[in-house]
Structure 1
Amino acid sequence: MIEWEGRQIPETFAEIVDPAHTVVIMHDIQNDNTGPDGVFARDNRRIDVTQIVGPIAAFLDTARSHGVRVMYTQYTNLPNLGTFTDPRIRENYAIARDPEQRWRLENSHYGSHGWQTVDELAPKPGETVIGKMRTDAFIGTPLEYLLRLYRIRTIIHTGLATEVGILPTAWHAANLGFFVVVPRDCVGPMIKEHHAEAMSLLSRLTLVRDSGEITAAWAERS
C-alpha cells in the first residue's frame, strides 16, 4: 500500500482487487440482444455470447464466494422510441417511420422479458440492477452514487459489449478516479470486427487481465 499525504493507495494487483472495495459489474447480456427469441435474433443480428457466458457465470460465482459485490446493468428503452436521442432518430429515421420495420428498433423495453438478463447470468436476490438509457452506465443513473456509498474503489467490467457499453463506462470510471479492471475472457463485442480495437483502447485505460489472475488474487488475500 502506498502512503501519500495521509492517503492509502492500493499498489499491488491483489490490493487493487481487494474484495472489501471491489465491485463486479455485469453489462447488458439480455434476452433481446442475445437470446434465441429476442428482437436481435428475429432481425438476424443476435449477439453471440456462447464463448463468454460460462466464464462469466463462473467468475461471478467466485466473486460472490469471496464477498465481492456484484451489480448489473441492463440497457433500457421505452416504447415508441421514447429514449432515442435526436441523432439516433435521424440515423434510423427510415426504419422508425416504416410500420413494417419499426419493430427492429423496439427492444429492451423496461420491465419486459427482453429487457431481463439471460437466465444463465441472472442477478441473485438483493443484487443491484441499474437500467441505463445510454451506453455509458454513468449517464442518467445512480451508479456513481451507489459506488461511493459502498466505498468502492475498483470496478471489474464483464459482459457486453467491449466497443459499445464497456469502453465508455470504463473510460468514465477512470476519469472519476476508480481503478478499472477488465477480464479479457469475460467480455465480448457486439460486432466481432471491433473487438480487438476496443480491447486495445481498454488496455491503455484499464488493467486487462485473465479472470484467473483476479480470482487468484482473491484467493491470495483470503
Structure 2
Amino acid sequence: MNFGVDEIRPAVVAIDLHRGHLDPEVATMPLATERCGPIIEANRIFFDNARAANIPVIHLLTMYRSVEEIRTNPFWRTRAEDPTATRKNVLKHNLAGLPGVQVMPELLDDRDWVIDSKRRYDCFIGSELEFCLTRNGINTLLITGVNTNSCVLATAVSACVRDFAAIAIEDCVDTMDGESLHEAALSCIRTAFGWTMSADQALANIR
C-alpha cells in the first residue's frame, strides 16, 4: 500500500499522551482508569517499533499559559459550566506548571521530538507541527493518542485537507467519551479523511 503518495515518508504523531489524561493521580481530564495502562502499553510498543524502523516520533502536548487562552473557545466555556460534561475541567486542564503537562515518561525517548504549543483539538492550529513535517520531508502521519473523537479526529481531518496521508492507529487511540464515540470517530476518518488500521498493519504496510 502506498497511501496515495509517491514515496512514503512517515512520522508518528502522538497526541496528548500526557499525565493530564493518563495519570489518574493528577489527570484533569482522565481516561477511564482501567484503560490508561493498556493504551500506554500499546503506544510504548508501537513507538519502540517505529523508532527501530527509523520513523520519528513526534509528541504533541497541550499546554496553556493562562485560563484566558482556554476560555476564548465558546464551546469549551460552556463545558466548564456543565458539571456532567466529560470536559467540565477544561479551564483547569494542562495549564503550564501543572503536573499534567508531561508526556508519560515510559513513552518518551531522547530521539523523539516534542511540540508543546498545541492549544486546540487540531494539532496544526497554533503549533509548529506543519513546519516540522514539511521541513523534514514527512508526508505520511501515523496518528495515535487521546481523544479519538476530538484531537485525533480533528488532526486527521486537518492533515487530509493539507494533503498529508493520515493513518489513525486503532489500537493506540482511545477516548474518555466512551466506545461508541471512539468507533464513530474512526468511522469518520476511514470514510472521508484517511486510513485506520492496527499498529502492526501500519508498520507492515510502510515497510
TM-score normalised by the shorter chain: which range applies? 0.7 to 0.9
What residue in structure 2 maps to residue 127 of structure 1? 112
Give the letter aligned to residue 2 of structure 2.
T
1:82, distance to aligned residue in structure 2 (A): 3.4
1:200, distance to aligned residue in structure 2 (A): 0.8
Instruction: Tell me the percent identity.
Output: 25
Distance in structure 2 (CA, Å) of the matches to 1:62 and 1:184: 16
Change (3 A) 1:91 1:213: same
Q: Which runs of 5+ in 2 are unaligned?
A: 83-87
What residue in structure 2 maps to residue 8 of structure 1? none
Distance in structure 2 (CA, Å) of the matches to 1:177 and 1:104: 31
What residue in structure 2 maps to residue 30 of structure 1? 18
Give the letter aligned to residue 25 of structure 1.
V
What residue in structure 2 maps to residue 53 of structure 1? 40
Aligned length: 196
**Residues 159-209 of structure 1 deviation map (CA, whole Å, 9 limit, x = unaligned):** 111101010111010011111111211111121141111111011121111
**Residues 141-166 of structure 1 deviation map (CA, whole Å, 9 limit, x = unaligned):** 11111110000110010111110101
Distance in structure 2 (CA, Å) of the matches to 1:94 and 1:207: 36
Give the letter aligned to residue 213 of structure 1.
Q
1:47, distance to aligned residue in structure 2 (A): 0.6
Alignment of 1:63-142 (within 5 A): 63-88=50-75, 90-92=77-79, 94=81, 105-122=91-108, 124-131=109-116, 132-142=118-128
Q: TM-score, normalised by structure 2?
A: 0.83
Q: TM-score, normalised by structure 1?
A: 0.78
Alignment of 1:198-213 (within 5 A): 198-204=185-191, 205-213=193-201
**Residues 70-114 of structure 1 deviation map (CA, whole Å, 9 limit, x = unaligned):** 10011112234433215146415658xxxxxx9773121224421
1:117, distance to aligned residue in structure 2 (A): 1.1
CA RMSD, 1 decimal: 2.5
Alignment of 1:150-169 (within 5 A): 150-169=136-155
1:214 pairs, out of 181, 202, 206, with 202
Question: Does residue 157 of structure 2 align to residue 171 of structure 1?
Answer: yes
What residue in structure 2 maps to residue 145 of structure 1? 131
Quick check: which has more Rg, 1 or 2? Answer: 1
